[in-house]
Amino acid sequence: MSRRGCRHGVDAAVLLFAGAILFDLYVHDFAVSWSHDTVQRALVMAATNGMLIIVGAFMLYGRRIDPHQSTDDRVQRMSIGLKSLLYVSMALSVFIAVTAADDVYRMDAIEATLLSVYFQVVALLSLGYVLSNIDPDKLDFDVYKNDAATA
């Protein structure tokens, strides 16, 4: 992903985060108290996004998981992993907004379906996205071969 594309993705995630919180506040008449669902959802969203940021930072700046991996392969896997985290953050924001709407519009009959769809979307955006975008034919497996001349 180019820097411009990455920037737009981050902007979209931040706007969805803020939009979900504002929508939740709006549908609950801006009632803010520690015991209210709106505040609890906002805290859960902030904590979850904070954890996603920490995971992304470890991906970027942490120790290499595979020291033999080529630089191009590592950059590709990091890019795909970071996009996946970004999409999961966006899905969380949408889910929180739908949950807030459920509180007001009493969509209890479809609540289980919405929860199931959310978990399937998260699985698709995380693991499914990673698996569909890594092309094994383009990975450099030569770094793992045992060179007889050096042994």
| Domain ranges across the chain | 3-137
| Residue pLDDT tens, the chain, 151 long | 455 556 778 899 999 999 999 999 999 888 888 877 889 999 999 999 999 999 999 988 988 777 777 778 788 888 888 988 999 999 999 999 998 888 888 888 888 898 899 999 888 888 878 778 777 776 666 666 665 445 5
Residue 28 vs residues 35, 96, 119, 127, 140: alpha-carbon distances, Å: 13, 13, 25, 35, 53
Please list, in sequence order, all residues whose beta carbon lies within 8 angstroms of the beta carbon of residue 19, skipping any fewer than 6 positions away: 93, 97
**What residues contact 93, with CB distance under 8 A and at least 6 apart?**
13, 16, 17, 19, 20, 45
Q: Whole-prediction pTM value?
A: 0.78
Query: Phi-psi region for residue 29, left (φ > 0), alpha (ψ -120 to 50) or beta?
Result: left
Q: Which pLDDT score, from 0 to 100, does residue 148 have? A: 47
